[in-house]
Chains A and B, each alone.
Chain A
């Protein structure tokens, strides 16, 4: 299994919050992550990453020095910072079958979070149902998130255009009553086409 990137500190049926390991490798927005819990792999899609002070009562202050220079001069500052990320739960793997819908229970707190393997990303994004799941969650930056995750899934497929078209069609279908929203996502995924 690939190197872990974080540890879950808060869970809900549809999403979880995790604290990243260190400050150097936060997960990408729109990337696919997984966690093992009660014998199942549960998959999430990172939709929010934030860096903050470890003490909620003490906010970080501006020093006027470049970040790398600052950490070199005052290494203790890094100890007072943490990165947290939120992921929407988009599926799970039970007994070798990948399913793109919510698991019967969320992962447990303190479970570790890992980035998804290539094959897992391919399986999860094969039917593009996850776009439907994330669209149903309130408060997500759906247009950006859908576009970012589709671009990533497409990159895993070596830029397969047919996949991109299929994904676009799924978006168009899902958001057929919100043409402008669909149009903006489609424009984002076709960027560089």
Chain B
């Protein structure tokens, strides 16, 4: 894949700390040079991989600025002599001019000599840095203005908690679907996706209003759909793999505290809950309280010495739980055990909310399940260590609206905060999806391994996503210049930061799809699910699309 490398300038000054500066060659059109581009500075013995971070207009003589050339000829003549363009580039990696297989690009610790040529990166350079596409190193896009694959090292990606940030319309969901698709295909880790907006299951509506195939459609039986709303018309059509029900007993006060905003809980309400739980038992108080007749409240007030108003208010708040039919007094099956069965089978789970996609349902379900899964994982990992065997399969938990769980107020207490901080000690990491990263605790952000950052409008969000990263100034410029479907990739799974045009979704689909066998699998699966349902609910119309 040889490609012609064009020299675009010559190095004139700079430092490792503040970046290098190069003069743009006169024959290069400055309007074709955009920040975020990958450039190579050809040193004597080493190649320096750099990111273009700024382009500026310069003049050697003040007079020319006061009396600018009046015609085209004069402008052309002064170009490169009295006026020139300066490129600011940030050195990132260094490698030998003729690297052997053992030479991997390493962080740059020096600068190239004066007047070293600055060139556009070639296809070979890009593949030297990001590797060649493979199942565990899939292509997720190409550097802007280039048609060369940039690959994500999934092995490293799974070793840390990661994040995908971007405001709505930035292409975040499509990219997330691609990352998840490749993770599933590679089997590097089991995925548990809390899919609040129904985007990662069967199909998802794209910006043009057309339905794109999503993970289940593409990967068939490797993906299981769990839902809290199996009676929704959607699941009548596509048949969810498992109908989730949560018993009142599984809800802890901490879960309700996390959803305090959604439930309208006050501090007094929270204290009252602790009082009730102390007296009636941790796993029984909620069901008993919600069952209780309001006329019996004075008795409770007297017995437990709680404030009557607070008790009434608490009841009104918690009554909202009754509107969520998947929260029940008694359940037939334990969802967490079922999830573990699927995980043991190597199946990936997409958790959907159907018509109950309120923040309340989402926060409760995600938090309750993840907390219990985390406990299970900690136990399993610890016992596996004690016995000297392999622990449970690594698990990547994807959460949308991550700031709801990792708000600085609550991040220290929630399971998500714990998982993000302890990294992969217990084989469990997070993939945070968010459009409001400034709402996430700094400590959590600084632990994020790989960040995939799309267009973010707010200055605070941009500052937040850069928490704990080197060369923040450079990266900030790059984020400010992102267009929809362009992403800045930086962190543990990437050798150097890079701005990419996300891969075409159609290309992803044709690459990831398991082929025609998937349709037969899907029909079989639906038949099985229907068989189960028929036994429980009676015959129902069966539709295959």
Q: How far is the CA of A177 from the CA of B63 in the complex (A)?
A: 9
Q: List residues of A (169-190) whose CB comes within 8 Å of B's CBs.
A: 169, 171-173, 176-177, 179-180, 182-183, 186-187, 190
Neighbouring B residues of A176 by C-beta, 8 Å: 60-61, 81-82
Given A169-B80, A173-B81, A176-B81, A190 and B63 touching (CB < 8 A)? no
- What is the distance, in angstroms, from A63's C-beta to the closest C-beta of chain B? 46
Is B73 located at the chain interface by the 8 A CB criterion? yes
- Cross-interface CB contact of B74 among A173, A177, A180, A183, cutoff 8 Å: A183
Neighbouring B residues of A177 by C-beta, 8 Å: 61
Taken residue by residue from 49 to 64, chain B's Cβ proximity to chain A (1 for < 8 Å, 0 otherwise) reads as 0000000000011011
Check if B77 sits within 8 Å of A171, measured CB to CB.
yes
Is B109 located at the chain interface by the 8 A CB criterion? no
Check if A190 sits within 8 Å of B80, measured CB to CB.
no
Given A165-B76, A177-B61, A183 and B81 touching (CB < 8 A)? no
Check if A179 sits within 8 Å of B67, measured CB to CB.
yes
Q: How many cross-chain pairs have Cβ atoms below 8 Å apart between A and B?
A: 46
Q: How far is the CA of A190 from the CA of B72 in the complex (A)?
A: 10
Tally of B interface residues using CB under 8 Å:
15
Is A27 located at the chain interface by the 8 A CB criterion? no
Q: List residues of A (142-193) whose CB comes within 8 Å of B's CBs.
A: 164-165, 168-169, 171-173, 176-177, 179-180, 182-183, 186-187, 190, 193
Q: How far is the CA of A3 from the CA of B326 in the complex (A)?
A: 110
Tally of A interface residues using CB under 8 Å:
17
Q: Which residue of B lies closest to A172 (CB)?
A: B81
Check if A186 sits within 8 Å of B77, measured CB to CB.
yes
Q: How far is the CA of A168 from the CA of B73 in the complex (A)?
A: 9
Is B345 located at the chain interface by the 8 A CB criterion? no
Q: How far is the CA of A177 from the CA of B82 in the complex (A)?
A: 9
Q: How far is the CA of A164 from the CA of B77 in the complex (A)?
A: 9
Check if B73 sits within 8 Å of A172, measured CB to CB.
no
Is B71 located at the chain interface by the 8 A CB criterion? yes
Q: How far is the CA of A193 from the CA of B76 in the complex (A)?
A: 13
Given A177-B61, A179-B63, A180-B63, A186 and B81 touching (CB < 8 A)? no
Check if B64 sits within 8 Å of A190, measured CB to CB.
no
Q: How far is the CA of A124 from the CA of B48 in the complex (A)?
A: 42
Given A176-B61, A179-B61, A169 and B74 touching (CB < 8 A)? no
Q: How far is the CA of A173 from the CA of B73 in the complex (A)?
A: 15
Check if B67 sits within 8 Å of A183, measured CB to CB.
yes
Q: How far is the CA of A179 from the CA of B62 in the complex (A)?
A: 9
- What is the distance, in angstroms, from B390's C-beta to the closest C-beta of chain A? 70
Neighbouring B residues of A186 by C-beta, 8 Å: 69, 73-74, 77-78
Q: How far is the CA of A182 from the CA of B80 in the complex (A)?
A: 15
Taken residue by residue from 73 to 105, chain B's Cβ proximity to chain A (1 for < 8 Å, 0 otherwise) reads as 110111011100000000000000000000000
Q: List residues of A (62-114) whose CB comes within 8 Å of B's CBs.
A: none
- Cross-interface CB contact of B81 among A164, A169, A187, A193, cutoff 8 Å: A169
Q: List residues of A (15-66) whose CB comes within 8 Å of B's CBs.
A: none
Neighbouring A residues of B76 by C-beta, 8 Å: 165, 168
Q: A171, A177, A190 — which one has the most chain B CB atoms within 10 A of its CB? A: A190
- What is the distance, in angstroms, from A193's C-beta to the closest C-beta of chain B? 5
Q: Which residue of A lies closest to B61 (CB)?
A: A179
Neighbouring A residues of B77 by C-beta, 8 Å: 165, 168-169, 171-172, 186, 190
Given A165-B77, A172-B82, A180-B67, output 12 extra A-B contacts at Cβ < 8 Å: A164-B73, A165-B76, A168-B73, A168-B76, A169-B81, A177-B61, A179-B63, A180-B63, A186-B69, A190-B71, A190-B74, A190-B77
A-B contact pairs, 12 of them (CB 8 A): A165-B76, A169-B78, A172-B77, A172-B78, A176-B60, A179-B61, A179-B67, A186-B69, A186-B74, A186-B77, A190-B74, A193-B71
